[in-house]
Structure 1
Amino acid sequence: MSRVGVVGTGVISGTYLEHLAQLPGVEVVAVADLDVSRAQTVAAAYPGVRALSSDDLMADPDVDIVLNLTIPAAHAPVHQAALQAGKHTYGEKPLAVDRAEAEPLLKLAAANNLRIGCAPDTVLGTGTQTARAAIDRGDIGVPTAATAAFVTPGHELWHPAPEFYYQAGGGPLLDMGPYYVTSLVTLLGPVRRVTGRAGRSQEQRKVHTGPRAGTTFAVDVPTHVTGILEHASGALTTVLMSFDVWAARLPRIEIHGTEGSLSVPDPNHFDGTVELATATQRDWTPLPVAGGYAGAGRGVGVADMARAIRTGEPHRADGALAYHVLDVLESLLEAAAQDQPVDVASTVDRPAAVPLGASPETA
């Protein structure tokens, strides 16, 4: 059993705590937050969970894995503190706000024989994994192209404190892009070159909900990014990530090959229906579930990592994958700023598929 200490008890922590309580091989034993009262309130809702300061949580011998649910700007410092304390660490995406912050984390983890993992773990669910199984068994022939789109008017419409979505480490590309690019790498393999364009429609935005409704804040990052990812396999993916679109009818992800096409469900969710159309059957046909952790929720990547620690096997939502995804996203922004293609320096193997019927404790 791996004992988990959570740093950061904001909005996303609730779904993690709910699902971790149901997963095998992991147990949440402590929480910490800059807002001590918030950590105490969260701890009180879960028997056996203690509210600690962040420093005390890092030093606690009862904590094996630090789950880092802080804002993007704090991801790298909290990961570093956990690794320096001799803890394995797993965090929300992105791994860090940029490659310069992220790369030392991988080196520190490797030097100390520690694991580092990173969301999204949605790709371990039945949605993306069923699409992976279809590609691997040749349902669409050789993959040649893909499209990926996420568009919304912006998170300030629902989040009571949305500023961090518009600061370094945020924006549609670094906030939602990790879901899409992690899924694309899982399905099509690593990316070797990118090109793109980026812009923003507003210099300031307004909070729409909560006690600060009506207040404005600055926008520091691009809010509309589009580009092309050239995978090492030769497949080309067209991406669109935007906080500037009020309404659209766009598929989340489609994968196209020499013999057919796949419609892949929302990579921000664990499940969903995968549909197949082929040269001989042009109508979209739902595919039966063929892989992935059934009924998965946020935190399954932590359980997958905990199992891998016990068995000595690789874990799937690992730091190398998260670093490559961050490298792709940062390279896309650089390509837009430089008005030219940018080579992606890193690479990574596709993580192992999750077999049909697998449990995070055994597969």
Structure 2
Amino acid sequence: MGGPLNVSSHAPLRVGVVGAGAISGQYLRYFDEHGAAAGVRLVAVADLDPARAAGAVGGREGVRATTPEEVYAADDVDAVLNLTVPAAHASVALAAIAGGKHVYGEKPLAATVVEAREVLAAARGAGVRVGSAPDTVLGRGTQTARALVDAGRIGQPVAATAFFACPGHERWHPDPDFYYQPGGGPLFDMGPYYLTALVQLLGPVAAVTGGAVRSGGERTIGSGPRAGERFPVDVATHVTGVLRHRGGALSTVVMSFDVVGHELPRIEVHGTAGSVSVPDPNTFEGPVRLSTRAAREWADVPLTHGYAAAGRGLGLADLARAVRTDGAARADGEVALHVLEVMEALLRAAEEERVVAVESACARPAPVPESARVAVD
């Protein structure tokens, strides 16, 4: 198939979606609400189930329901939005790249680091871009917190804490089995949000150590037509890690499906002169709070940095900006590879009871400017 498509500095990035599952609705809503301003235009939706693709297209004018193969080969598609299941992320990305398309996908970038490296190598060879969720860290919550860190409001960063804890998704999800199979668990399900935020705040990770446990071999579905059915647990359900960032700070991370209730903060970053509380990294906004030596009481900080036009699809729009300007994307494939390697290293460190070095060294993404919108660098 042909080489990478040329996109002019003014033309929108024409996007074909592959995978019309539940998450696709949020992305399609982003196209509807922000696409024109963000420089992205939806032209096709593909799925292995034609009826599901047609349902996702709905009455959108100028958007066709089609097959994945047609999207990979289409002359009017510049980029593929990969919304398939994690096990298919690499194969879909490689097919899109072979068709000369840029790729932006849901997390994780691939099921394994080996696959992720293959995707990025193929993209470099084809001269196309790869981006990956999560893009929530480009919203005003994490970016405002980052601006405080970068401005020295907390002094020299020393440490961070990141907590996600719940009783498990089986209490609400009607088909939760995949959360408890390899590639799932609290670390691979929610870890990308928290670890990507930590990379934004403190930069890449050099080494990790930690521990992991699995609480029981089965769980019970709590809702839906399968309520009461038991299913196997094949992954660690509670993971605790210590990450040593290349800049010297240490992050303590807890990811758990074993906690009934807690009052732990989502993320806090602590420095020599103060601390900043960061909102839920699975959201684009939320309260940012600051405590300093001069004013020890916690105080809310106005949300000043980060893209204001937020929603799932923000990372794709930022990728479109990077293509138009020949600049760097912020939700970049190299960042996603690094986060994936950190997660794999953490589980290996827990299993082998040792410190594991992280080989990849992504660049810390550029901050989103103050008062930015998606179409503005």
Please, what TM-score do these two structures have when normalized by structure 1? 0.97
CA distance in 1, matches of 2:350, 2:137: 27
Secondary structure at the counterpart of residue 21 of structure 1: helix
Residue 137 of structure 1: CA displacement?
0.7
Aligned residues: 363
8 Å contact from structure 1 (residues 334, 342) kept in 2: yes
Residue 62 of structure 1: CA displacement?
1.6
Is 1:277 the equivalent of 2:277? no
CA distance in 2, matches of 1:62, 1:217: 44
Percent identity of the aligned residues?
A: 58
Aligned partner of 1:82 in structure 2 is 96
Aligned partner of 2:25 in structure 1 is 14
CA distance in 1, matches of 2:63, 2:166: 36
Residue 29 of structure 1: CA displacement?
1.4
8 Å contact from structure 1 (residues 157, 209) kept in 2: yes
Deviations 1:288-336 (A, max 9, x none): 1231001411101000101111111111100000001111111000000
Aligned partner of 2:342 in structure 1 is 328
Aligned partner of 1:58 in structure 2 is 72
Aligned partner of 1:252 in structure 2 is 266
8 Å contact from structure 1 (residues 261, 277) kept in 2: yes
Deviations 1:40-68 (A, max 9, x none): 21112533321112112212222111111
8 Å contact from structure 1 (residues 31, 51) kept in 2: yes
Residue 22 of structure 1: CA displacement?
2.1
**1:275/1:3 CA distance change after superposition, 3 Å:** same
8 Å contact from structure 1 (residues 73, 168) kept in 2: no
Q: Which amino acid aligns with 1:8?
A: G
8 Å contact from structure 2 (residues 136, 282) kept in 1: yes
Is 1:4 the equivalent of 2:15? yes
Q: Which amino acid aligns with 1:15?
A: Q
Q: Which amino acid aligns with 1:12?
A: I
Segment of structure 1 superposing worse, 182-191 or 150-159: 150-159
Is 1:351 the equivalent of 2:365? yes
8 Å contact from structure 2 (residues 134, 331) kept in 1: yes
Alignment of 1:177-196 (within 5 A): 177-196=191-210
Alignment of 1:283-302 (within 5 A): 283-302=297-316
Residue 213 of structure 1: CA displacement?
3.1
CA distance in 2, matches of 1:267, 1:167: 24
Is 1:268 the equivalent of 2:282? yes
Query: 94, 100, 125: which one pairs with 2:114?
Result: 100
Segment of structure 1 superposing worse, 302-311 or 196-205: 196-205
8 Å contact from structure 2 (residues 16, 45) kept in 1: yes
Segment of structure 1 superposing worse, 287-296 or 172-181: 287-296
CA distance in 1, matches of 2:341, 2:374: 28
Q: Which amino acid aligns with 1:199?
A: V
CA distance in 1, matches of 2:232, 2:59: 35
CA distance in 2, matches of 1:53, 1:295: 30
8 Å contact from structure 2 (residues 82, 106) kept in 1: yes
**1:31/1:235 CA distance change after superposition, 3 Å:** same
Aligned partner of 2:216 in structure 1 is 202
Alignment of 1:103-142 (within 5 A): 103-142=117-156
Aligned partner of 1:305 in structure 2 is 319
Q: Which amino acid aligns with 1:4?
A: V
Secondary structure at the counterpart of residue 22 of structure 1: helix
8 Å contact from structure 1 (residues 19, 299) kept in 2: yes
Segment of structure 1 superposing worse, 153-162 or 86-95: 153-162
8 Å contact from structure 1 (residues 324, 347) kept in 2: yes
Secondary structure at the counterpart of residue 238 of structure 1: strand
Q: Which amino acid aligns with 1:10?
A: G
Deviations 1:101-160 (A, max 9, x none): 110111110111100000000010000000111011110000000100001111222223
Residue 211 of structure 1: CA displacement?
3.3
CA distance in 1, matches of 2:219, 2:92: 29
Q: Which amino acid aligns with 1:105?
A: V
Residue 204 of structure 1: CA displacement?
2.2
Please, what TM-score do these two structures have when normalized by structure 2? 0.94
Aligned partner of 1:147 in structure 2 is 161
CA distance in 2, matches of 1:78, 1:208: 33
Secondary structure at the counterpart of residue 161 of structure 2: strand
Aligned partner of 1:224 in structure 2 is 238
Deviations 1:58-103 (A, max 9, x none): 1222211111111111111111111111111011111111111110
Query: 72, 77, 82: which one pairs with 1:68?
Result: 82
CA distance in 2, matches of 1:37, 1:157: 30
Q: Which amino acid aligns with 1:158?
A: W
CA distance in 1, matches of 2:135, 2:147: 17
CA distance in 1, matches of 2:42, 2:297: 46
Aligned partner of 2:329 in structure 1 is 315
CA distance in 2, matches of 1:161, 1:82: 29
